[in-house]
Amino acid sequence: MPHEVGYEPIWMQEPDKLSKMEFYKIEKDGLDVIRTIIEEYADQGYSAISESDMLRFKWAGVYEQKPKEGYFMMRIRINGGVLNTKQARMLAALARDYGRDLIDVTTRQAIQYHWLKVEDMPDIFKRLEEVGLYSYEACGDCPRTIVGNPLAGIDKDELMDTRELVDRVNDFFLMNRDFSNLPRKYKISISSSMYNTAHAEINCLSFTPAKKVIDGQEVIGFHVWVGGGLSAKPFLAQQMDMFVTPEEVLKVSTGVTVVYRDHGYRAKRHHARLKFLVADWGVEKFQEEVVKIIGEMPSRGEDLTVGWNAAYFDGVHPQLQDGLSYVGLNVPVGRLYTDELLELADLADEYGNGTIRTTMSQNIMLSDIPNERVEELLKAPVLQRLTPFPNRFMSRTVSCTGNEFCNLAVVETKARAVAVAEYLDANVELDEEIRIHFVGCPNSCGQKHIADIGLQGALVKTENGMVDAFDIAVGGILGPNAQFNTVLKGRVKGDDVGPVLAQLILYYKNNRSEEETFFQFVQRVGVASFQEKLTEVLAG
């Protein structure tokens, strides 16, 4: 029987136009699989899991792990990337008890485990809930982890502290059956940072800082973006002609989500994201449909986004609060371990106020450190590997999970990314950061489209069989000049990636003008010049 909801699933009026997954979701809401896991599968084991429920496991924040032999990945929601040390210690303990000590920080500020068994999940759910954390709806066709400014509340460059706002929107959507059956995944970002710390242009729905004079008074609020997303067909979000006060963010979020739920495409899974509806309708028509639900809204005001810092914060930096600093740490390709997270929690308690922050660049920050204690903090042994002063290329390298655990990835990425960064740090001297992102498949969990240099995994046939290879793209950026990078022709074998990238980067270094960033250089000389250089390198 169809599950009970507070709305009419109007898309069921034309069932012949629905994908198979849509019938699974009507037959049993994805949220119901959480109870099934706890009450049935945890006792019956992996072999008892039905095909349809395995697909619904995503609503529990769980994916089957490669090679599909009874292990699972689990993703934990971290609202806006802000954790307390009680939560951090619980996350570390769960990794120790069930996840072989592996902890990954994702490009959406979440925490990800591997090697979990279905028998483990009831205890994991229970222990997470005890500290106010959830894996629920961290995956699935629903509103996922809300990303935000990891510096919220301590940032000199934000217009307001958005932590409470992120929590309010999260709490409304989490486990809300009116929104647990969307056409596909749905990603929200909320940030008032002037440096676009939550990557507004690549989310389904985003709020960025703005101001507007209303009734003679200057009001600080947000502008609204819809329809961003990556994967095989990336789209930059478009801005609606709308100014939103903080009090109205939830109302607007609800209206946008209702339009997507009721009118989004459900015939083909690969064509179901909000970005396709916005692209087809146009942002004006989309806004008209939202306004029918929430009422008229003020027109846009003045954008207050001035740039993009790509969510990098390594080093020691002054906070908004006098006398305090935050310390940005580099977590190489987002991977850390149980003992390291426990040590970070100890440092956050001893030197800070018990807060740990995760970033969309897969890194971690410790905040609220008295300035006079910073030097003492920096001597902590754990900060040797998770250093605030990383080598230049390692500091800006991002990677998805890769085929070590992911069923979709065709190549290994994390170890490869580390090896390439180490090679570049050893062989290329540069005074400018270049962002390098690795992905193992077209889904782009490693956000390769927005990198200075993005690498997407593939396989090539050689006389020794199939080997890992990568396609290279150059020139991506977000912020006021947002654009995706452009793929070059010429697939590079995995073992050659380091030397090939070194040649491309040296081409930039030797020909740039003073203080010209990599993106600016690509814009000036053109992608065609990089194509010529890559062709030359591969021919040599």
User: Of 25, 58, 184, 212, which residue is the catalytic one?
Assistant: 184
Rounded distance, CA 139 to CA 61, Å? 5
Say whether 140 is catalytic: no
- 509 with 337: CB under 8 angstroms? no
Question: 151-303 with 395-539: one CATH topology?
Answer: yes
The CATH homologous superfamily of the domain defined by 395-539: Sulfite Reductase Hemoprotein, domain 1 (3.30.413.10)
- 450 with 479: CB under 8 angstroms? no
**pLDDT one-digit tens code per residue, 469-503:** 999 999 999 999 899 999 999 999 999 999 999 99
Rounded distance, CA 325 to CA 322, Å? 8
State in Å, rounded, how far the first CA of the chain is from the last one: 65
Which pLDDT belongs to residue 1?
A: 32
Rounded distance, CA 210 to CA 221, Å? 5
* Per-residue pLDDT at 419 exceeds 70: yes
Tokens standing for 260?
A: 């997507």
Domain boundaries, the chain: 151-303, 395-539
What one-character DSSP code corresponds to residue 175?
A: T
User: Of 99, 440, 457, 498, which residue is the catalytic one?
Assistant: 440
* Per-residue pLDDT at 159 exceeds 80: yes
Which pLDDT belongs to residue 324?
A: 98
**pLDDT one-digit tens code per residue, 388-398:** 999 999 999 99
Rounded distance, CA 353 to CA 386, Å? 20
Quickly count: other Cβ atoms within 10 Å of residue 329's Cβ.
Answer: 26
Which pLDDT belongs to residue 409?
A: 95
Q: Which of 418, 498, 500, 410 is nearest to 457 (CA)?
A: 410
Say whether 117 is catalytic: no
Rounded distance, CA 246 to CA 219, Å? 10
User: Of 56, 75, 89, 212, which residue is the catalytic one?
Assistant: 75
User: Of 204, 406, 441, 445, which residue is the catalytic one?
Assistant: 445
Say whether 446 is catalytic: yes
**Order of strands across the sheet that contains 111-116:** 62-64, 72-76, 111-116, 102-105, 335-337
Query: To which residue do tokens 């307001």 refer?
Result: 160
What is the radius of gyration, based on Cα positions, of the chain? Answer: 23
Q: Which of 151, 147, 168 is nearest to 159 (CA)?
A: 151
Q: What is the largest CA-CA distance in the chain?
A: 73
What DSSP letter does each residue of 278-346 carry, written as one string? HHHH-HHHHHHHHHHHH---PPP-EE------TT--BEEEE-SSTTEEEEEE--GGGEEEHHHHHHHHH
Window from 64-68, 138-142, 254-258 with minimum mean pLDDT: 64-68
Say whether 75 is catalytic: yes
- Average pLDDT for residues 520-530, to the nearest whole number? 98
Tokens standing for 279?
A: 């692209």
Say whether 300 is catalytic: no
Say whether 373 is catalytic: no
Q: Which fold has domain 151-303?
A: Sulfite Reductase Hemoprotein; domain 1 (3.30.413)
Tokens standing for 457?
A: 């995994």
**At a CB cut-off of 8 Å and minimum separation 6, what does 231 contact?**
273, 442, 443, 444
Round the average pLDDT of the chain to a whole number and report it.
97
Q: Please tell me the pTM assigned to this model.
A: 0.97
Q: Predicted confidence band at 2 (pLDDT cuts at 50, 70, 90)?
A: very low
**pLDDT one-digit tens code per residue, 373-384:** 999 999 999 999
Residue 3, class by beta-carbon neighbours within 10 Å (0-12 exposed, 13-18 middle, 19+ buried)?
Answer: middle
Which pLDDT belongs to residue 4?
A: 59
State the amino acid at position 253 in one-letter form.
S
Q: 73 forms bridges with which residues in the sheet?
A: 63
User: Of 56, 77, 185, 416, which residue is the catalytic one?
Assistant: 185
**Pairing relationship of beta strands 147-148 and 188-190 according to DSSP bridges:** parallel
Tokens standing for 396?
A: 């800006």
CA distances from 332 to 58, 243, 263, 391 (A): 27, 39, 41, 10
Q: Predicted confidence band at 464 (pLDDT cuts at 50, 70, 90)?
A: confident
